[in-house]
Amino acid sequence: MRRAVPMMLVVLLLVCGCAAVTAETPSAPPVVRVSPALDSRHARTDHGVVVRALGGTLSRVLVYEGGEPVPGRLDDSRTIWRSDWTLKPSAEYTVNATASGEAGPSTVAAGRFHTRAAQRTFQVASTTPLPGETVGVGMPVIIDFNGPITDKAAVERALEVTSVTPAEGAWRWTSDTQVIYRTRRFWAAREQITVSAHLAGVRGGPGLYGATDSTFAFTVGRKQTSMIDTKAHQMIVERDGEVVQRMAISAGNATTREYTTTSGVHLTMDKGNPVRMISPGRQEGDPGFYDIMIDHAVRISNSGEYVHAKDNVWAQGRVNVSHGCVNARPDQAAWFYDSSLRGDPVIITGTGRELEWDNGWGFWQLPWEKWTLGSARGDADPAGGWVSKR
């Protein structure tokens, strides 16, 4: 019996040893990385700001420039935050970002960086429509730059068009200095449109960067559409779906190409009262030469076509005798002049000459699929340019 006691003690010790508790290893705090690196003095502008969390998720990201918040967004995993747009040249940015892990302490990264100055800059030179203008439902958005753009994809991605009623649209480059936005279908009537060019810091070409952002807004008015049948010599004006005017007209006599009215979807471009009209390709003394002042003229193309007043009521409604324009009775032409907004569609049928898509604002002549081919965004990753991750 005395020998059994030590063995029992050994068993008890073994059992106690198996119940020993192991201490847990503390979780490592997440790591926050900011690009451009904090304290940078000559940061690039065209890649924006990117904040990443390693080993955790971002719970807060605040970026400011000049006291103004920099817009940006988190990805679905909440591990990457990107600024929506590029950065201003020669500017100071402050960053405050917090990352949290599953357990353990959070990590805060705070600091500032400076962007480099731009060697050469570009900016918006002019816009159509004008800020605050009320336009027709067919109105395009035309932006002209003050110099040639070679990295068109980067610049196009910086252009934003917003409306209360969603509308599908696309940009098309017509030259190195001009880009045009057209919707797939006409704008909704009485719509508010805002156009923002987030160009500051965008790379427009080698050594060329956007200088400033710019924004303008315009309003779409009532829906007014004019249908002109040159064979029937009639013009019908509809407003918000109802006929508001019927006009007998006379169109181009079609004896030459320039005297043939173009068929297609025109837009009213501008107007004058009066407008001086001179015969194309003819000098004084030549047969068919004219140099006259015309009242209440609304331009619808760049090839000399107007809807205007003409006191030749004997021809209106009966025969086409003009030099390519559409003329109407003076009182009705004055009414059309007064009621027209830039961008009102004027649809002409019945002639043997088609309106070219690049004649004035003949942009609606291109089918949507062809219009979108003029966009530069087919390049999904332009070299050296800002690529939006949205």
Q: Which of 246, 202, 229 has its CA nearest to residue 349?
A: 229
Q: Which of 238, 190, 191, 219 has its CA nearest to residue 347?
A: 238
Q: Which of 122, 153, 160, 143 has its CA nearest to residue 375?
A: 153
**CA-to-CA separations, 60 to 32, 75, 92, 96, in angstroms, rounded:** 11, 13, 20, 8
- C-alpha torsion angle, residues 46, 48, 52, 58 (rounded to 10): -170
Q: Which of 128, 87, 100, 130 has its CA nearest to residue 27?
A: 100
Rg (CA), the chain: 33
Q: Does the annotation count 233 as an active-site position?
A: no
CB 57 within 8 A of CB 51: no
Q: Which residue matches tokens 């970026």?
A: 63
Sign, Cα dihedral of 286, 317, 303, 334? positive
Q: Which residue in the list 47, 198, 266, 308 is annotated as catalytic?
A: 308
CB 257 within 8 A of CB 230: no
Distance CA 76, CA 63 (A): 19
Neighbours of 113 (CB within 10 A): 21
Q: Which residue in the list 47, 198, 296, 325 is annotated as catalytic?
A: 325
Convert 204-221 to b/e letters by CB count within 10 Å (16 or more is b).
bbeebbbbebbebebebb
Distance CA 243, CA 100 (A): 64
CB 48 within 8 A of CB 61: no
Q: Does the annotation count 308 as an active-site position?
A: yes
User: Who contacts 256 (Cβ-Cβ below 8 Å, separation ≥6)?
Assistant: none
Could you give the residue numbers annotated as active site?
A: 308, 325
